């Protein structure tokens, strides 16, 4: 039972990475190509400190990776599986969009 509980905890940690509007915006922003913090800030119109905190969260749970080049850090999705998962969210959302829109039990 301990192993199954641990697996559930790990799944929840992974899902938590996707459970914030800013983090989803960041992931969509870097879905097709790597970008610097400044490029991400400019594209999603956020504050640099807030974006940096969310990038740290995403990197910490393994959803994105960072690559240093000179004085810039470039962020990208960890792999094709993460890109596929983001696409699958869109596919599933198409099926349940009306129900999600009417749901008043979600947490912001």
Q: What DSSP string describes 24-89? A: HHHHHHTSSS-EEHHHHHHHHT--HHHHHHHHHHHHHTTSEEEEEETTEEEEEESSHHHHHHHHHH
For residues 43-61, average pLDDT: 96
Is the pLDDT at 108 greater than 90? The verdict is no
How far apart are the C-alpha atoms of 35 and 27, rounded to whole Å? 11
For residues 31-50, average pLDDT: 97
DSSP secondary structure code for residue 92 in this structure? H
Least confident of 44-53, 58-67, 75-84, 92-101: 92-101
Is the pLDDT at 6 greater than 60? The verdict is yes
Backbone angles phi, psi at 35, to 5 degrees: -145, 160
Is the pLDDT at 99 greater than 90? The verdict is no
Domains and CATH numbers, the chain: 2-102 (1.10.10.10)
For residues 48-72, average pLDDT: 96
Residue 26: half-sphere exposure toward Cβ, Cα within 13 Å = 31
């Amino acid at each position: 039972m301990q192993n199954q509980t641990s697996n559930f905890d790990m799944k929840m940690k992974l899902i938590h990475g996707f459970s914030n509007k800013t983090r989803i915006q960041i992931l969509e922003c870097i879905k097709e190509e790597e970008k610097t913090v400044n490029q991400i800030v400019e594209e999603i119109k956020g504050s640099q400190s807030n974006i940096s905190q969310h990038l740290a969260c995403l990197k910490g749970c393994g959803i994105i990776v960072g690559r240093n080049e000179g004085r810039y850090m470039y962020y990208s999705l960890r792999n094709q599986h993460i890109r596929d998962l983001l696409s699958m969210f869109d596919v599933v959302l198409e099926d349940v969009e009306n129900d999600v829109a009417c749901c008043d039990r979600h947490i912001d």
